[in-house]
Structure formats: C-alpha cells, structure tokens
Amino acid sequence: MQYPKAFIAGFISTLVFHQGVYALFWLAGVLPSAPYAMAPTSPFGLPAVISLAFWGGVWGIPVWWFIRDANAWNYWLRAVLLGAIGPSAVALFAVFPLKGMAFAAGWDPAIIVGALILNGAWGFGVALLMQLARVRDQK
C-alpha cells in the first residue's frame, strides 16, 4: 500500500520542494518566470503546476521503489540522486524536444544544473514525506 503514498509524496513534493526551490531561484532573479504556473496545458487544460505535480506523483513511485530498503545516509543520497537524474534526463532529452524546445536545452549548463537542483530537491522531498508516512504508520 506504499505506492499510492509514493504518488502523493511525489505530488506534494513537487508543490512544496520543487516549486519552493524554483521560487527561491525566481526571487534571486535567476529564473525569468514565476513558480506555480497556472497557464493551462494540453490536453486537459489543467494548470501547468498541477500537470507538473501529477508527473511528480508518477515519478514518486519508481523513486520510492529504489529507496525504500535503503538505510541512513544511503536513503537520502539515493533519493536526491535519483530525483535529480531521472526526471531531469527525461525532461531534457524527451519532453523538451516534444515541446519544440532544444534537445538537452541546447546543452546550456545553467539549465541543466538548475534542473538537477530542482529535481534533487524534489527527490529529497519525496524521501522526507515517505519517512514521515512511515513514522505515522508505526504509531
């Protein structure tokens, strides 16, 4: 019964951790667009941030599968690395080209590093929320 919780953790982590770090970057003037984008997306017209959170939920499931049996620092390291690399690679190498954007963001180091940081924070959030759910389940 952990996989629905992993989906919810990924969804919430997108809204809190991913978009939270995005907000910090935006406030620092590093990013041109504000977090929590509400522009409708295809095909259902959902706000972009909700679509992003849905996919964060989907990604939460395999991340949980890879970290669930890890202990101590390995749990957190796996979560951050898998969170950083998996979603970033898919976004840069598949989603960007599908949306008509440059493959791998034209290999712009700032965009690549930014994606790794945002998604690493998201992975940390998934791990934290799953840890909190585990503690709650033990009570």
Question: Using CA atoms, how far apart are residues 93 and 59, in angstroms rounded to an integer?
Answer: 16
Residue 65 CA to residue 9 CA, distance in Å, equals 13
**Residue 85 has which token pair?**
């690399």
- Judged against a pLDDT cut of 70, whether residue 104 lies above it is answered with yes
Cα angle 101, 103, 105 (rounded to 5 degrees) comes to 70
Task: Give the range among 21-25, 46-50, 104-108 with minimum mean pLDDT.
Answer: 104-108
User: Which residue from 73, 60, 36, 50 is spatially nearest to 123, judged by alpha carbons?
Assistant: 60
Indicate whether 137 pLDDT > 90: no
Most confident of 4-8, 29-33, 101-105: 4-8
- Map residue 3 onto helix, strand or coil: helix
Q: Counting every residue, how long is the chain?
A: 139
User: Residue 113 — very low, low, confident or very high, per pLDDT cuts 50/70/90?
Assistant: very high
* Residue pLDDT, tens place only, 9-34: 999 999 999 999 999 999 999 998 99
139 — pLDDT class (breaks 50, 70, 90): low
Nearest in space to 8 (alpha carbons), one of 138, 128, 135, 139: 128
Model confidence pLDDT, tens digit, residues 71-99: 999 999 999 999 999 999 999 999 999 98
- pLDDT reading at 135 higher than 80: no
Task: Name the band, by pLDDT with cuts 50, 70 and 90, for residue 43.
Answer: confident
Closest CA to 70 of 57, 84, 80: 80
Helix axes 109-138, 72-90, angle to 10 degrees: 130
